[in-house]
């Protein structure tokens, strides 16, 4: 918002320079983006009177003027404006004047052979907008010649371009900024209090009909007759121009002026045009939401198709304005307007925001309604506008109707408990020069009282520190809601730069938490296995078992939280295939969510998908891709587990119907379920159009990290290699198919005890000469001691014990 210091000085006492005031506001959270010093635009430009005007002897479009600037002798000035004539007062840039807006320094010159000793200026040359094509002519009479033109043109002013944060709706007005400046500087406020306006009860043809009182809690409609539309007085036009608003006419300018002064949007309708649209002299001004397909031509000349999100002002139920956004062209005030209906209303911020967005239209009014207009000062702003219309447009007030469903005024404020102990706990010590200290009770009371709050002392807290009950003023009701908000205000006005900033006394080396370090290692191991890390949204389509559904989703496709990571990886695999990117080998670490009887649950999971050819080059296979086998995919996981020094057990599993019932395993660590690994079910594979061999896994990251956190893994014990040779033994037998190799390996390991170094399956056979329901398995057992070479006498008893354990446990039929 553009703030005129001349205007601001009428509302609050200011003793600071513009630069100091800008610094003070910026430090308090109101960023001043630019200081526009208009005093430099016409420095050296004075009032002159054209005594005589003669045509230029050598140019048809130039004039030679004799101009008196009160300096004893007249100036000879060549002027090219068509509107220059004798006996007019004009702005004159004297020799040596610099005009920054056109980057011109005035020097003595000759124009077509005639000397010129200055320049008669237009408003554009002085940096002011104007519709006049030519020099500026002052309308006032008997102006003092040679005096500074800046006070007459409003150029003795400084403009601060100020940006307020979104929560400070009150700062979008001159009154709001004046209150803030008073609180920051201690300056005295002089806010105008408009008196009561008299209404002549000569008309009774206006009624109000508010269809949605939540969207429009208050509406004031005032009928004004015998209005004389004319240009606004110069002081009003100057203030509007300083704020970046183009003057139009006295009535429209007054509504804009009150908007800038009080932050209350107003709108003036031409009453005769309203009656024409309504088709009757009896007007019913209504507020309702539009029906789909209605249209309205707004003041910017565009016909807008409306939706049910648009809040309308209607005349006998016919749309005449977009409520809180922009008026309609059909009922706008024009040069021939003789009577008005002035609207002053409160609209719901959410309703106006939706309405404004749906038609792609933002205005000064909608921007204020969206942030929230002060409901306590509606009547003040309305009276201010009515008194100005009576004064400047000779309007006579003949009727006023009010529809008010606002809550009781006693609820327009709130009381907040504030503790001095909490203030100092949050803000910390203050810098007192050579020493530090704390905020005192009188500091808190001074600051909050300056903001318009009323403080009532309460009983001291348990630490014998003062506490207060703080009553918030209505114009700060929206952003001062809790104790922490008051603490923020105290810090802001006391000065953020006055609080101590301290560093730790001794710098410490940074380090990663254990879990984060382990996760980084895990990511590195998975990438080393050729897997790419993937990231998906946590939001998915609803419909899964134990889904958590959002109450306010952006889209239906993203209206629930994912219950696992595998589904997203399968979709990503399918998408990459369809895009011609080939099979996807990737992993993802992310949160999953589900519902339990005792509430909502959340955990972090690791999942992956593997289905592409993992070989480096295909030249040795004539370019053919060989799909990865179950054992190769399982080997990727086992390689990661081996690098993490984890002993993970694979057990058959059939619980996930997305996976192949005969090629799925659950993973276990020390009796804790780690996750699942398996091949996609053929039916799902066909539905998705995926290759034959696609494998997925999902692990509980908490279980994995907990297992990694064991001391023997974090600090591994050094074990030297044996320098003595090993003794190999092979063992082959028929075993039932239902017995897994894992179970057999566990029995062999237990029986071999300390001498057995490793067990490896090297052959499996099913078919001819193998009993039905069984398979032939062959294992290689390696025995080794760390301190000697094993003899036959030492190995054979242990090997026989392994054979006996297999026969006893599984009833195998030994072949060797």
Please give the annotated binding residues, written as ranges.
Answer: 479, 485, 488-489
Q: Classify strands 45-55 and 63-68 as parallel, antiparallel or unpaired.
A: antiparallel
Distances (CA, A) of 262 to 174, 183, 257, 265, 374: 7, 18, 9, 9, 9
435/801 Cα distance (integer angstroms): 82
Q: Could you give the CA distance from residue 633 to residue 650 in angstroms, rounded to a whole number?
A: 13
Is residue 283 within 8 Å of 341, Cβ to Cβ? yes
CA-to-CA separations, 287 to 3, 145, 406, in angstroms, rounded: 33, 56, 16
- The total of other beta-carbon atoms located within 10 Å of residue 467's CB is 18
141 torsion bin: left (phi>0), alpha (psi -120 to 50), beta (else) = beta
Nearest to 645 by CA among 745, 721, 712: 712
In sequence order, the 6+-apart residues with CB closer than 8 A to the CB of 358 are 307, 309, 310
Binding residues for Mg(2+): 479, 485, 488-489
Diameter over CA atoms, the chain: 137
* Per-residue burial over 363-387, b = 16 or more CB atoms within 10 Å of its CB, e = otherwise: bbbbbbbbbbbbbebbbbbbbbbbb
Work out the angle at residue 782's Cα, subtended by the Cα atoms of residues 777 and 787, and round it to the nearest 5 degrees: 165
Pairing mode, if any, of strands 206-210 and 283-289? parallel
CB 782 within 8 A of CB 790: no
Residue carrying the six token digits 């036959």: 792
Residue written as token pair 């946590």: 538
Please report, for residues 57, 238, 399, 755, the alpha-carbon distance to residue 92 in angstroms, rounded to integers and kept in the order given.
Answer: 22, 20, 49, 111
What's the CA dihedral at 628, 634, 639, 644 to 10 degrees? 150
Helix (H, G, I), strand (E, B) or coil at 798: helix
Q: Mention every residue, 6+ apart, whose C-beta is less than 8 A from residue 457.
A: 466, 467, 468
Distance between CA atoms of residues 398 and 387, nearest Å: 13
DSSP 717-758: PP-PPP-S--EEEEEEEEEETTS-HHHHHHHHHHHHTTTEEE
How far apart are the C-alpha atoms of 38 and 34, rounded to whole Å? 12
Cα gap 293→314, rounded to integer Å: 16
CA distance 693 to 631: 11
Question: What angle (nearest 5°) sits at the alpha carbon of residue 52, between those of residues 51 and 54?
Answer: 160
Q: Which residues of 780-801 are buried (b: 16+ CB within 10 A; e: fewer)?
A: ebebbbeeeebeeeebeebbee
The answer to whether 138 and 89 are in contact (CB under 8 A) is: yes
Q: How many CB atoms lie within 10 A of CB 254?
A: 25
Distance separating alpha carbons of residues 212 and 201, to the nearest angstrom: 28
- Residue 497: DSSP 8-state: G
CA distance 47 to 93: 9
* CA distance to 240, 521, 591, 695, 709, per residue, from 742 (Å): 86, 28, 32, 20, 25
CA 802 – CA 816 distance, rounded (Å): 12
- Return d(Cα 364, Cα 370) in angstroms, integer: 10
């Amino acid at each position: 918002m553009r703030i005129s210091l001349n205007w601001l000085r009428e509302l609050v006492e200011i003793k600071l320079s513009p630069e100091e005031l800008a610094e003070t506001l910026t430090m308090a959270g109101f960023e001043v983006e630019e200081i526009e010093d208009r005093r430099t635009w016409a420095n050296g430009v004075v009032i002159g009177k054209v005594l005589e005007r003669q045509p230029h002897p050598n140019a048809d479009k130039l004039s030679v003027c004799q101009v008196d600037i009160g300096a004893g002798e007249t100036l000879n000035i060549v002027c090219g404006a068509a509107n220059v004539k004798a006996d007019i007062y004009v702005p004159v840039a004297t020799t040596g004047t610099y005009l920054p807006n056109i980057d011109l320094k005035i020097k003595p010159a000759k124009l077509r052979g005639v000397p010129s000793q200055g320049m008669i200026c237009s408003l554009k040359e002085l940096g002011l907008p104007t519709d006049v094509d030519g020099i500026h002519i002052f309308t006032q009479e008997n102006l003092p010649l040679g005096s500074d033109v800046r006070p007459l043109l409003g150029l003795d002013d400084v403009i601060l371009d100020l940006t307020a944060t979104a929560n400070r709706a009150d700062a979008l007005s001159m009154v709001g900024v004046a209150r803030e400046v008073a609180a920051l500087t201690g300056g005295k406020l002089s806010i105008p209090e408009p008196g009561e306006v008299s209404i002549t009860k000569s008309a009774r043809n206006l009624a109000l009909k508010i269809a949605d009182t939540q969207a429009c809690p208050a509406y004031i409609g005032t009928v004004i007759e015998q209005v004389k539309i004319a240009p606004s007085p110069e002081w009003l036009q100057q203030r509007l121009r300083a704020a970046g608003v183009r003057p139009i006419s006295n009535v429209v300018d007054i509504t804009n002026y009150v908007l800038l002064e009080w932050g209350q949007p107003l709108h003036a309708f031409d009453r005769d045009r309203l009656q024409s649209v309504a088709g009757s002299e009896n007007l019913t001004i209504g507020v309702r939401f539009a029906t789909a397909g209605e249209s309205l031509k707004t003041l910017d000349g565009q016909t807008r198709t409306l939706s049910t999100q648009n809040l309308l002002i209607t005349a006998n139920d016919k749309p005449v304005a977009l409520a809180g956004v922009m008026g309609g062209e059909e009922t706008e005030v024009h040069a021939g307007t003789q009577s008005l209906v002035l609207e002053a209303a409160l609209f719901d911020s959410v309703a106006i925001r939706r309405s404004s967005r749906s038609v792609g239209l933002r205005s000064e009014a909608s921007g204020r309604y969206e942030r929230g207009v002060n409901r306590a000062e509606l009547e003040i702003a309305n009276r201010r506008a009515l008194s100005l219309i009576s004064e400047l447009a000779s309007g006579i007030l003949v009727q006023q109707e009010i529809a008010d469903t606002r809550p009781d005024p006693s609820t327009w404020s709130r009381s907040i408990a504030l503790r001095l102990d909490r203030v100092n706990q949050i803000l910390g010590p203050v810098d007192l020069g050579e020493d530090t200290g704390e905020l005192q009770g009188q500091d808190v009371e001074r600051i909050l009282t300056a903001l318009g709050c009323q403080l009532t002392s309460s009983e001291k807290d348990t630490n014998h520190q003062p506490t207060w009950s703080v009553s918030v003023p209505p114009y700060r009701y929206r952003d001062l809601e809790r104790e922490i908000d008051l603490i923020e205000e105290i810090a802001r006005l006391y000065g953020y730069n006055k609080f101590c900033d301290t560093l730790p006394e001794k710098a410490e080396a940074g380090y990663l938490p254990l879990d984060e370090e382990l996760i980084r290692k895990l990511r590195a191991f998975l990438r080393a296995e050729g897997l790419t890390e993937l990231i998906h949204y946590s939001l998915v389509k609803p419909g899964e078992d134990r889904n958590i559904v959002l109450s306010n989703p952006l889209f239906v496709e993203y209206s629930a939280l994912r219950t696992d990571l595998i589904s997203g990886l399968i979709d990503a695999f399918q998408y990459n295939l369809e895009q011609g990117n080939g099979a996807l080998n990737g992993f993802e670490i992310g949160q999953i969510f589900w519902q339990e009887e005792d509430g909502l649950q959340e955990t972090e999971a690791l999942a992956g998908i593997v289905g592409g050819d993992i070989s480096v080059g295909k030249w040795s296979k004539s370019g053919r891709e060989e799909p990865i086998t179950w054992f190769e995919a399982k080997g990727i996981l086992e390689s990661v587990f081996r690098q993490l020094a984890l002993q993970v057990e694979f057990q058959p599993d059939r619980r996930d119907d997305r996976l192949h019932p005969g090629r799925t395993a659950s993973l276990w660590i020390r009796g804790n379920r780690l996750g699942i690994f398996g091949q996609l079910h053929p039916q799902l594979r066909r539905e998705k159009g995926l290759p034959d061999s696609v494998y997925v896994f999902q692990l509980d990251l908490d279980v994995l990290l907990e297992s990694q956190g064991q001391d023997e893994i974090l600090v591994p014990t050094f074990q030297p290699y044996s320098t003595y040779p090993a003794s190999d033994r092979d063992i082959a037998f028929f075993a039932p198919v239902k017995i897994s190799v894992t179970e057999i390996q566990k029995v062999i390991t237990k029986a071999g005890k300390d001498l057995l170094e490793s067990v490896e399956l090297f052959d499996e056979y099913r078919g001819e000469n193998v009993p039905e329901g069984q398979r032939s398995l062959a294992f290689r057992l390696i025995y080794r001691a760390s301190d000697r070479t094993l003899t036959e006498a030492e190995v054979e008893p242990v090997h026989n014990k392994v054979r006996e354990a297999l026969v006893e446990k599984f009833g195998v039929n030994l072949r060797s």
